């Protein structure tokens, strides 16, 4: 009973069996490749995402460095302008320099002086302009300056007191300097 089929039919059955084995084997390899690709996909995607994030950080760092360099240039120009304005005071006698340093040392922390105008003589004047957070700081500074005997008058315009809720102010100092 071993050979009930003719040899041509037997070889056709074996061919179909071989084709089925090849088909099933190729499907197994295909699914294995698919699952391997899915398993390796994160190791491909994560570096690409990190590369994009690093590139974005580099762009932001470059922009920040450019902004810092622009800010530094502006600060240098501003410092140069202040030095040009202060040169007459620096090369003057020690009296104006001591006077201005005394004025600046008495100011409260929240008070910022942006401009100092100095006129010497019998009726000399010093005009201080700047920004302040509150009018109490202006009054405190005025009282502190009034204690100095070198100043005959310390005055603040009413407009500076009204606008002092975080704005500009002007103080005029008079004396013989």
DSSP symbols for 117-146: EEE-STTEEEEEEEE-S-HHHHHHHHHHHH
pLDDT above 50 (res 94): no
In this predicted structure, what is the pLDDT of residue 4?
Answer: 80
At 85 the three-state DSSP class reads helix
pLDDT, one tens digit per residue, over 99-118 is 888 898 888 888 888 899 88
| pLDDT bracket for residue 124 (50, 70, 90) | confident
| 104 phi-psi bin (left φ>0, alpha ψ -120 to 50, beta other) | alpha
pLDDT above 90 (res 28): yes
| Whether the model pTM is above 0.85 | no
Mean per-residue pLDDT over the chain, rounded: 84
pLDDT above 70 (res 165): no
Mean pLDDT of 137-156: 89
**What totals of helices (H) and strands (E) does the chain contain, helices first?**
4, 4
pLDDT above 60 (res 85): yes
Give the other-Cβ count within 10 Å of 147's Cβ. Answer: 9
Contacts by 153-161 with C-beta closer than 8 Å and gap 24+?
161/135
In this predicted structure, what is the pLDDT of residue 90?
Answer: 62
């Amino acid at each position: 009973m071993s050979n009930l089929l003719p040899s041509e039919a037997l070889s056709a059955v074996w061919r179909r069996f071989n084709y089925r084995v090849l088909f099933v084997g190729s499907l197994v390899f295909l699914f294995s490749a698919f699952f391997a690709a899915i398993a390796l996909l994160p190791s491909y995607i994560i570096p690409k995402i990190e590369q994009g994030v690093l590139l974005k950080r580099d762009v932001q760092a470059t922009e920040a460095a450019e902004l810092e360099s622009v800010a530094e240039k502006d600060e240098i120009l501003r410092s140069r302008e202040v030095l040009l304005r202060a040169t007459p005071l620096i090369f003057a006698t020690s009296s104006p320099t001591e006077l201005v340093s005394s004025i600046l040392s008495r100011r409260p922390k929240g008070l910022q002086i942006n401009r100092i105008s100095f006129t010497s003589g019998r009726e000399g004047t010093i005009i201080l302009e700047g920004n302040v957070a509150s009018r109490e700081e202006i009054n405190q500074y005025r009282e502190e300056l009034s204690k100095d005997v070198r100043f005959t008058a310390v005055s603040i315009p009413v407009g500076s007191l009204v606008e002092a809720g975080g704005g500009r102010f002007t103080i005029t100092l008079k004396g013989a300097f």
